[in-house]
């Protein structure tokens, strides 16, 4: 199927195996959900953001993560929004820059900590190196840090367990691994930094069968497998 406007990202994360619904984020800021059996018009469509949706993630579908099926979008307009496909038009949560705050381009978003019906977190990475962890249960900013370089990708080692490990990759050949099990009141989470690829580290993906193993993809065309 081909559509008239360009897509930037997509996920099956909020869909069950029976439904096979694909959620997409577009260059015009639209969030749409498509039934792959019938692609003529989307089953859900909302103008979610004023600018391009850079990244999208889903949880609660495919038997991964407790709680309602939800989709998170991160956009160039600086906002991160959480959507429940059963609720039309309005996000169930929105994390936006406050009055007078700089609007930073959000490049990457990821769900985590969805191990029961009530808890879940969203991690967002920005073009200026900011990483922000939003607690959706308390609707608050739980933690933030800056890794001094544009954040290309963030991923928890698993979405459906209590937070364990978070990996963030950056523009200039580094990635950071955060130990999310214990949060220090002032210092935040312990972390390790590794240099790889000699170029932008575009992506990180954990192995579902063993979350100690993950792969990073680099701008030089290289793949690195880590343990």
Cα distances from 146 to residues 58, 207, 227, in angstroms, run 25, 26, 24
* Other CB atoms within 10 Å distance of the CB of residue 4: 4
Note the pLDDT of residue 99: 83
Note the pLDDT of residue 56: 98
Note the pLDDT of residue 62: 86
Q: Per residue in 87-124, is it b (16+ CB within 10 Å) or e — as a string?
A: eeeebeeebeeeeeeeebbbbbbbbbbbbeeebbbbbb
Contacts of 172 (CB under 8 A, 6+ apart): 149, 200
Q: Give the chain's end-to-end CA distance (angstroms, integer).
A: 39
Note the pLDDT of residue 100: 84
């906002």: which residue's tokens? 79
- Write down the pTM of the prediction: 0.95
What span, in angstroms and rounded, lies between the C-alpha atoms of 89 and 226? 41
What span, in angstroms and rounded, lies between the C-alpha atoms of 120 and 114? 4
What span, in angstroms and rounded, lies between the C-alpha atoms of 154 and 140? 19
Note the pLDDT of residue 102: 87
The domains found in the chain, sorted by start residue, are 7-226 (2.130.10.10)
Q: Considering only CA atoms, which of 119, 57, 128, 70 is closest in space to residue 97?
A: 128
What span, in angstroms and rounded, lies between the C-alpha atoms of 164 and 162? 6
């933030």: which residue's tokens? 144
**For each of the chain's 227 residues, which pLDDT tens digit applies?**
999 999 999 999 999 988 889 999 999 999 999 999 999 999 999 999 999 999 999 999 988 899 999 999 999 999 999 999 999 899 999 999 888 888 999 999 999 999 999 999 999 999 999 999 999 999 999 999 999 999 999 999 999 999 999 999 999 999 999 999 999 999 999 999 999 999 999 999 999 999 999 999 999 999 999 99
Note the pLDDT of residue 183: 95
What span, in angstroms and rounded, lies between the C-alpha atoms of 1 and 38? 10
What span, in angstroms and rounded, lies between the C-alpha atoms of 213 and 177? 12
Note the pLDDT of residue 17: 86
């Amino acid at each position: 199927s081909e559509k008239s406007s360009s897509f930037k990202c997509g996920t099956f994360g909020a869909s069950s195996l029976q439904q096979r619904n694909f959620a997409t984020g577009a260059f015009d800021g639209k969030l749409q959900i498509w039934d792959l059996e019938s692609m003529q018009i989307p089953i859900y469509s909302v103008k979610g953001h004023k600018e391009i949706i850079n990244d999208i993630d889903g949880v609660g579908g495919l038997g991964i993560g407790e709680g309602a099926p939800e989709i998170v979008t991160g956009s160039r307009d600086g906002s991160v929004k959480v959507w429940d496909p059963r609720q039309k038009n309005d996000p169930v949560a929105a994390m936006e820059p406050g009055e007078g705050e700089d609007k930073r381009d959000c490049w990457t978003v990821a769900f985590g900590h969805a191990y029961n019906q009530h808890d879940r977190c969203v991690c967002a990475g920005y073009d200026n190196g900011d990483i922000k962890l939003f607690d959706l249960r308390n609707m608050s900013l739980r933690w933030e840090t800056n890794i001094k370089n544009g954040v290309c990708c963030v991923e928890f080692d698993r979405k459906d367990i209590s937070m364990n490990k978070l990996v963030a990759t950056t523009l200039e050949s580094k990635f950071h691994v955060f130990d999310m099990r214990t949060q220090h009141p002032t210092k935040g989470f312990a972390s390790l930094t590794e240099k790889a690829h000699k170029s932008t580290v575009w992506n990180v993906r954990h192995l579902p069968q063993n979350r100690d193993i993950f792969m990073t993809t680099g701008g030089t065309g290289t793949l690195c497998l880590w343990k």
